[in-house]
Amino acid sequence: MTARVTALDESLGSYEIERMLSAENDDNNAIIFINSGAGGTEAQDWAEMLFRMYLKWSERKGFETQVVDLLAGEEAGIKSVTFIVSGLRAHGYLKCENGIHRLVRVSPYDANNRRHTSFASVYAYPELPEEVEVDIRDEDLRIDTYRSSGPGGQHVNRTDSAVRITHLPTGIVVQCQNERSQHKNKSMAMAILKSRIYQLEKKKHEEKMDVLNKEKKDIAWGSQIRSYILHPYRLIKDHRTKHEEHNADAVLDGDIDAFIKEYLLYLTFEQKRKDN
C-alpha cells in the first residue's frame, strides 16, 4: 500500500509540473550550454559534475542527449560543453536551471585539503523546428573551420571538420565538432545559432527583459542561483525559491525535479502577481 501511495504521489507531482509548462517553446528540445567560471581546475571539474548531473537527469526522464561541442580542461574536467536534450518539454524543464551554480567542497586537487568555492554557468535555449524562419544574412557571419580536438588516438579527426560560427551583429558564437563531416557540423551550428538569435529577437519585443540575459552575470561570487555545499555540511539550496535538499548525492545523480517544480511554481506566482 505504501508503495502504491508513493507512486501515486509521484504521478501527481509529475502532472502538476507538466501543467505549468505551457509557455511558448516549453515543449521543445533543449540546447544546453555549460561553462566553467572562477576557480580554475576546480571550476572545470565542477562543470563536468553538472554535465553529468544533467545527463543522469535526462536518463531518468527517458530523454536522449547529444554532445555538440566539448572543450576539455588541461588537468581535469571541462571548460565548456554544448549538448542537446531531446524529449517532450525538455526546454520547459531545463529553463529552470538558467544561471550560475556554486559548489563548496574540500578540493580533491588541493594537497592541503582546503575548502574551495567553484562556479559554472548553465543556460538552456529551445531547439527550433525547421519551419521556423530566422533572418540570418550571410554577410553577418564569420565561419571558421578547425581540427576537432579530442583525447588522442585513432579517433582524433585529422581534417578541419569542426566549425565555429560568429554572428557579428550580436557577437553570438556557436561551434560544433561532434560530426566527422564539416557539412554536418556547419548545419548543426547553424541550427543552434538560429535558436539563440530567435530567442534573443523574441525577447526584444517583450516589455520585460529577457530572463536568460538578465540573469547572466559574472560566473563568480554574488550571482549564483543555487549553491551545492558539500563541506562542512551537505546542503543544496536554490537562492530564488529557498528550496533546500540535504541528499546532495541524489541531486548530483540527477534528482533535481524538486528544484524544477519549485521554480516553476515561483514563475507562476510571479506571473500572476504581475498580471494583477
Q: What is the pLDDT of residue 22?
A: 79
Q: Residue 72 and residue 68: Cα distance in Å, rounded? A: 13
- Residue-wise pLDDT for 131-159, tens only, equals 888 989 999 999 999 887 755 433 444 56
- DSSP reduced 3-state for 60: helix
Q: Domain spans of the chain?
A: 2-131+208-275
Q: How many CB atoms lie within 10 A of CB 55?
A: 16
Cell of 51: 554535465
**Cis before residue 232, ω within 30 degrees of 0?**
yes
**What is the maximum alpha-carbon separation in the chain?**
65
2-131+208-275 belongs to CATH 3.40.50.720: no
Query: Per-10-residue mean pLDDT for the chain, 276 residues long?
Result: 53 65 89 91 96 98 96 92 96 96 91 88 92 90 86 50 94 91 93 92 61 57 86 95 97 97 88 69
Q: Residue 59 and residue 210: Cα distance in Å, rounded? A: 30
Q: Residue 60 and residue 64: Cα distance in Å, rounded? A: 10
Q: What is the pLDDT of residue 152?
A: 42
Q: What is the pLDDT of residue 182?
A: 92
Q: What is the pLDDT of residue 156?
A: 44
Cα first-last separation, the chain? 43
Q: Residue 66 and residue 71: Cα distance in Å, rounded? A: 15
Q: What is the pLDDT of residue 111?
A: 76
HSE-CB at 191 with a 13 A cutoff on CA atoms is: 20
CA 224, chain centre distance (Å) = 14
Cell of 55: 545527463
Q: Residue 158 and residue 262: Cα distance in Å, rounded? A: 47
Give pTM, 2 decimals.
Answer: 0.83
